[in-house]
């Protein structure tokens, strides 16, 4: 847990944010300002600032993030229609919350 980090707090269940999925590695919840009909955030419990801060040992976390994204896309009904997965990296890449997270967006008509 990183002091004052919003996604550390959310991923450890310390806020009222509803968790759509949780396992030992990560949590999934809805983005508060959805950019699409479906907009989920896949967030590791471990505090990693950004992609730049990943260690080789974090490989299983990344694999888990993608596999859970696959499952959440199916559960949200966008797997067949299609969706986007993206990660913003540092300020120039649009990152606002400095705790690694994967965006899943989809559900357009
Ligand atoms: P970033 O730009 O860092 O990749 O994305 C951060 C995302 O977190 C934004 O899409 C923003 O809407 C979302 N967000 C920021 N604060 C909160 C919050 O308190 N709750 C939820 N559910 N999402 C948040
Ligand atoms: Zn954090």
Q: pLDDT (tens digit, 0 to 9) for every residue of the chain, 109 residues total? A: 999 999 999 999 999 999 999 999 999 999 999 999 999 999 999 999 999 999 999 999 999 999 999 999 999 999 999 999 999 999 999 999 999 999 999 999 8
Tokens standing for 50?
């950004």
User: Is 101 a known active-site residue?
Assistant: yes
Residue 28 CA to ligand 2 center (angstroms) comes to: 14
At residue 97, the pLDDT reads 98
Residue-range domain boundaries for the chain: 1-37+50-81
DSSP state, 87? -
CA distance 32 to 88: 16
Ligand 1 proximal residues by C-beta, below 6 Å: 6, 17, 29-33, 41, 88, 94-97
Judged by DSSP in three states, 41 sits in strand
Q: What is the pLDDT of residue 109?
A: 85
- Catalytic pick from 39, 99, 101, 103? 101
* Separation of alpha carbons 56 and 60, rounded Å: 9
**pTM of structure:** 0.98
Rounded to 5 degrees, φ, ψ at 75 are: -65, -30
When the candidates are 3.30.1330.60, 3.30.360.10, 3.40.50.720, 3.30.428.10, the CATH number that belongs to 1-37+50-81 is 3.30.428.10
Give the strand pairing for 102-106 and 26-30. unpaired
Backbone dihedral angles phi then psi of residue 102, each to the nearest 5 degrees: -110, 125
pLDDT at 76: 98
Q: What is the pLDDT of residue 38?
A: 98
Ligand 1 atom at minimum distance from 94 CA: 2
Distance 77 CA to ligand 2 centre (A): 29
């Amino acid at each position: 847990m990183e002091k004052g980090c919003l996604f550390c707090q959310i991923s450890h269940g310390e806020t009222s944010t509803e968790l759509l999925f949780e396992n030992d590695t990560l949590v999934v919840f809805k983005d508060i300002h959805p950019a699409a009909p479906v907009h989920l955030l896949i967030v590791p419990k471990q505090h990693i600032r950004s992609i730049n801060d990943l260690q080789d040992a974090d490989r299983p976390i990344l694999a888990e993030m993608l596999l859970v994204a696959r499952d959440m896309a199916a559960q949200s009904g966008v797997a067949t229609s299609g969706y986007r997965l993206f990660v913003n990296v540092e300020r120039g890449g649009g990152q606002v919350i400095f705790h690694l997270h994967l965006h899943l967006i989809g559900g357009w008509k």
